[in-house]
Copies of this chain bind each other. A is one copy, B any other.
Amino acid sequence: MGRCENCIIRQFNSLRAMNKEELKRVSDTKTTKFLKKGEIIFGEGDKLNGVYCVKGGVSKLSKLSPNGKDQIVKLATKGAVLGQRSVITEEVANLSAIAVNDMEVCFIPKDAIVDTLNSNPNFAVEVLRHIAHDLKEADDVIVNMSQKTVKQRIAEAFIYLETNFGEDQNGYLALTLSREDIANVVGTATESAIRIISEFKKLGLIKASGKKVAIANRQGLNDVAKGA
């Protein structure tokens, strides 16, 4: 089992503001878990006894709406710390976290986090910065959701996937989502998403091989996203 002190992932999240002893404590109490695609890290309403630091793979953070549809609020990848918010506010989880592909995560019991928050202002401020950034992103999502058409949001989603997860060696988006997941990200019916994706293919904006999608005309997609 690796030591947090040597973990490069830490540079991407708030744990980098911990000092040596604090980090040692985290390292001594953490446990590493491997999850297969589709497995649940935690569910809406679960009481969380710690946070999950994502070492590899991607998780979708989603919430079930009363009408039975899932809304994906965020995709979390390497470096993300899941469950942080719930641990801070001492509430049950507001979102579910489900593995989109195979994942490796470290579970860190909450005491190590909470105690450090209360004693090390650098760490508290660093966590604060991250959560504040998440809040800004969430506000932007609210605006997108309510002011853009489904077509625009799907175009944006592809651009988002490219800029955040990159492409594989063949130029396909490195993160492959099912049509249903894409629909749940942009908040529309699966059929609507499929229809628009087909249209994008016909227009030559993207190309697809099975579920793999590649951006074929970035500028064109951008124009659609901007409503041109």
Chain B residues whose C-beta falls within 8 Å of the C-beta of A187 in the assembled complex: 142, 145-147
> Given A124-B121, A125-B117, A128-B131, is A136 in contact with B67 using a C-beta cutoff of 8 Å?
no
Residue among A129, A136, A138, A147 facing the most chain B CB atoms (10 A cut-off):
A147
> Would you call A166 an interface residue if the criterion is a C-beta within 8 Å of the partner chain's C-beta atoms?
no
Chain B residues whose C-beta falls within 8 Å of the C-beta of A117 in the assembled complex: 121, 124-125, 128
Contact of A136 among B89, B119, B148 (CB under 8 A): B89
Determine chain A's interface SS by DSSP, over half rule. helix
Q: Is the CB of B142 within 8 A of A145?
A: yes
Copies in the complex: 2
> Would you call A170 an interface residue if the criterion is a C-beta within 8 Å of the partner chain's C-beta atoms?
no
> Would you call A58 an interface residue if the criterion is a C-beta within 8 Å of the partner chain's C-beta atoms?
no
Q: Is the CB of B128 within 8 A of A66?
A: no
Chain B residues whose C-beta falls within 8 Å of the C-beta of A138 in the assembled complex: 135, 138-139, 141-142
> Would you call A45 an interface residue if the criterion is a C-beta within 8 Å of the partner chain's C-beta atoms?
no
* C-alpha spacing A187/B132, complex, angstroms: 23
Give the interface size class of chain A.
Answer: 35 or more
CB distance from A228 to the nearest CB of B (A): 10
Contact of A128 among B73, B127, B143 (CB under 8 A): B127
Closest to A62 in B: B143
Closest to A94 in B: B136
> Would you call A65 an interface residue if the criterion is a C-beta within 8 Å of the partner chain's C-beta atoms?
yes
CB distance from A114 to the nearest CB of B (A): 9
7 pairs from A and B in contact (CB 8 Å cutoff): A69-B147, A71-B147, A88-B132, A117-B125, A120-B121, A142-B142, A142-B145
Closest 3 CB pairs of A and B: A146-B187, A65-B147, A124-B124
A65-B144, A147-B187 known; 4 other A-B pairs, CB under 8 Å? A71-B146, A73-B142, A88-B125, A138-B138
